[in-house]
Structure 1
Amino acid sequence: MHVVLSTDSASPIYEQIKVQMRAAILSGAIAAGGTLPSLRQLAADLRVSVVTVTRAYNDLVAEGLARNEHGRGFVVLAVEADVAQQALDATLDDLLRRLVVAAGHAGVDLPALHRRLDDQWRSE
């Protein structure tokens, strides 16, 4: 699982971890029954506190996306396909709203935004 953190983001580190883990679970990148990376390993890989990762994982548990099993760690729970798609769509809509606001603040018009989005799409 590849998690990318930004120290420039307004979102706290635990929130960035949670959002990316949630997306991986909802998209099926981490299948039901699979385990999330261990707390200590992910904390070491990301160079953050174990407490930070624990908070992110506990939020996923509270959302019903994972459970903590003694001896196994955090196990991904099954999510109905339509529920997962609705959640992914809501996340995308939120990101698009924030993109439009940021583009407006930067003085980027719609055609320029389309070009930049196309460029990013092709680079991925």
Structure 2
Amino acid sequence: MNIIISNVSDKPLYEQIKEQIKNAIISGELEDGEALPSIRALANDLHVSVLTTRRVYDELESEGFVITKAGKGSFVAPENLELLRESKRRMVETKLLEAWETAKSLGISKKELYSMMDLLFEED
């Protein structure tokens, strides 16, 4: 797992780290039951505070993405993939709703909006 953090990003460091770990789980780079680096090791690798990495792991655990076993470390929680996918779907739905409301306020029809989406998919 390769985590890249940016000091010039608007997002706090812990949020950048947390999102990249979640994405690694969704993409299958990290699998169910796989051990995550220790809090201290991750902090050292990323040159951040141990408190920052502890916050990341605590939040991932509270969201159900990670489980922590005392004395053994933190692991990718089993059956997490569907939870993560659903979380991402909700985020996309929110963004699409914003786009639709903006399009309506600008007088863009459903057909035009669909055409724009088709173009975006073709470019990808």
Q: 1:75 — aligned with what?
A: 75
Map 1:81-100 onto structure 2 (within 5 A).
81-91=81-91
On the 8 A contact 1:35/1:72 being kept in 2, the answer is no
Question: Quick check: 1:65 aligned with 2:92?
Answer: no
The one-character-per-residue Cα deviations of 1:86-110 (angstroms, maximum 9, x if unpaired) are 323445677898xxxxxxxxxxxx8
After TM superposition, the score normalised by the length of structure 1 is: 0.68
The one-character-per-residue Cα deviations of 1:35-86 (angstroms, maximum 9, x if unpaired) are 1111111111110011100001100000011111112211111235443323
Provide the aligned length of Structure 1 versus Structure 2: 106
Structure 1 letter corresponding to 2:77: L
After TM superposition, the score normalised by the length of structure 2 is: 0.68
User: Residues of 2 paired with 1:12 and 1:70: CA distance?
Assistant: 27
Percent identity over the alignment is 36
User: Residues of 2 paired with 1:36 and 1:5: CA distance?
Assistant: 17
Q: 2:25 — aligned with what?
A: 25
Q: Is the partner of 1:79 in helix, strand or coil?
A: coil
Q: 1:45 — aligned with what?
A: 45
Q: 2:7 — aligned with what?
A: 7
Q: Is the partner of 2:20 in helix, strand or coil?
A: helix
Question: Which blocks of at least 5 consecutive residues in structure 1 are unaligned?
Answer: 98-109
**After the TM superposition, which parts of structure 1 deviate over 2 Å for at least 4 consecutive aligned residues?**
79-97
Does the C-alpha gap of structure 1 residues 67 and 43 become closer, same or farther in structure 2, counting only changes over 3 Å? same
Question: Which blocks of at least 5 consecutive residues in structure 2 are unaligned?
Answer: 99-115
